[in-house]
Amino acid sequence: MTIYNAPVEDMLFLYEKLRDNKNYNEIERYKEVTTDLVKNILEEAAKINKNLILPLAKSGDENPTVLENGVVRTPPGYKEAYKKFIEDGWTSLSCDPKYGGQGMPKTVSAFFDEMISSSSLSFKLYSELTLGAYNCIHHHASDEIKNKYLPKMVEGKWSGTMCLTEPVCGTDLGMLKSKAIEQSDGTFKITGQKIFITSGDHDLTENIVHLVIARASDSPQGTKGISLFLVPKFIVNQDGSIGPRNGISTGSIETKMGIKGSATCVLNFDDATGYLIGPKNKGLSQMFTMMNLERIVVGIQGLGLSEIAYQNSLNYAKERKQGKSNNNKSKNGSADLIIEHADIRRTLLNMKSIIEGERALCFWLSQQTEVSLYHKDTKIKQDALDMVSLMTPVVKSLFSDMGMEITSDAMQIFGGYGYTKDQGIEQLYRDNRITPIYEGTNSVQAIDLVFRKLVNKNGDIIDKYISMIKSDLDKNSDELKPFIKTLKIYVDKLSSFSNWMKDKIENSRDDANAASNDYLRVLGYVSVGYAWLKVLGVCYKEYSSNKDFYEDKIQTASFYFNRVLPRIDSHYLSATTGSRYIMDFKFN
């Protein structure tokens, strides 16, 4: 069984020392969120994840969710753990106090998201989609619907889903077939089938609130005719009590490679009663409130699984003896611990440098998210929103792809033991494999980044981001000069790549398409490097106060700057060769 200890020290370091966004610190609602309060929350979160949730990972993998006589049953231990989970208030952590939430910022809740992703991604998904649905309802629904549904969702007694995908459409939602027919009382009858619905049905909550996109009978074809509906598993009476079963049934549960404890369902809607959320035909933009949040959270899933893979790899490398390193001084010829071998050390440092850099970038993004939502100044909000939009596909794709690299490397460190089920390492790889796929595949994210996020109606966003980095590079101290020199080289390369992309978007879209994944990686590696530079600024400034911790950070960052950032060169050179040799190839 895997081990896991939440990296509370690193998280608190970020919260205390990297909370340097002036605009974030001006948000009134978080003035009373102190470091001591955050410390208490994270320490309690670490305990519940280690003691309650971590054991569920193996249980869910060995005893997957099943559909029996129309009832979906979660793995052993899930119901008891979920009851404790909601009693302790973890579903309400970042929710509005108006509906029973604790009102914590994403700078705190993102850390909890990472912890529970490390502990058991399958278990996490039951509450994760609820929070996504909560956010969508909170932003777009009427007060009547909010007051009726949100308190129970915040409490965790009711859960939520996002129902987009159909057999005929995944990415291209304009092809959806689900229909909505308006009734005389203002409700709609929803008919259609949705597939791959995470937490679509289960036995953990009293009710499940489905957010469903469908086309009203008088709406146009394509994405312009999509509306969003709230369709509960059980009709909710006027007094808030549970009424009769709605016209929703579970057709099947997918048999999957990983996240086996999560119920991924085929849902059939047969004249199910639904309630319109927001204006008709504006459903896709409303659903993106949920989807964009989920994309960042999926990136955090990759980060969480990377962290537990690293912890177990490091622990194993300190115990496993095999072969002799170049520094072997044994007189009786005994083997060394594998952590003494240069390649194992390289692999571990690769993991560590990426994970800690990603965590710092995620913390920066969490601050930007809060500014985009709650700052009083409209322009500051919009500028922050542009940064969030730019970074959302980067975090989703880079973190999940790096999760694949890191969980694969963890299996390699464990050798044959990693390939067997006994150690739990191969499960991390299988569980993470979905993260580059769901909530928009990583290639779709890369295309979205290139064609929609670099430049938008508010201007040249990537140029603003690059200018911000360059401005910070000019401000830093002498101690950071070696790091600044290296990062400047790759920021300039990002700038050149961005200009190349803008030209190709206008003049050769196939070239831009073929280069999109490479471009996302280049932007991602630079962004993580920029986050590391912020960390290093603190390390050198406060070195004497915590030498061991800060020296560890400096050495880890040195690996990132010398071993990871240079990956940019190959991505840039490969991508800018164009696409003619790709598009002209004739497949037999």
Angle between helices 378-414 and 461-475 (to 10 degrees): 80
423-429 LR contacts (CB < 8 Å, sep 24+) = 423/1, 423/2, 423/312, 423/316, 424/1, 424/2, 424/57, 424/58, 424/312, 425/2, 425/309, 425/312, 425/313, 427/2, 427/57, 427/58, 427/61, 427/258, 428/2, 428/305, 428/308, 428/309, 429/258, 429/404
Residue 287 confidence (pLDDT): 80
**Residue 439 appears among annotated catalytic residues:** yes
Residue 330 confidence (pLDDT): 53
| DSSP summary character for residue 327 | T
Label the pairing between strands 207-216 and 179-182. parallel
Angle between helices 509-541 and 547-559 (to 10 degrees): 160
Angle between helices 8-17 and 35-48 (to 10 degrees): 160
Residue 328 confidence (pLDDT): 64
Three-class DSSP labels, 390-445: HHHHHHHHHHHHHHHHHHHHHHHHHCHHHHCCCCCHHHHHHHHCCCCCCCCCHHHH
Global pTM exceeds 0.85:
yes
* First-to-last C-alpha distance (Å) of the chain: 47
Where are the chain's structural domains? 451-580
Residue 285 confidence (pLDDT): 84
Q: Which residues of the chain have pLDDT under 70?
A: 327-333
Counting Cβ atoms within 10 Å, is residue 80 exposed (0-12), middle (13-18) or buried (19+)?
Answer: exposed
DSSP 180-212: EEE-TTS-EEEEEEEEEEET-S-SSSSEEEEEE
Residue 234 confidence (pLDDT): 98
Q: Single out the residue of 125, 136, 208, 195 nearest to residue 167, CA to CA.
A: 195
Per the DSSP assignment, residues forming a β-bridge with 36 are none
Report in angstroms the alpha-carbon separations of 568 from 424, 459, 493, 501. Answer: 33, 26, 8, 15
Identity of the residue numbered 275: Y
Q: Single out the residue of 206, 220, 134 nearest to residue 176, CA to CA.
A: 220
Residue 117 confidence (pLDDT): 98
* 92 CB neighbour count, 10 Å cutoff: 23
Please tell me which residue in 426, 439, 479, 542 is annotated as part of the active site.
Answer: 439
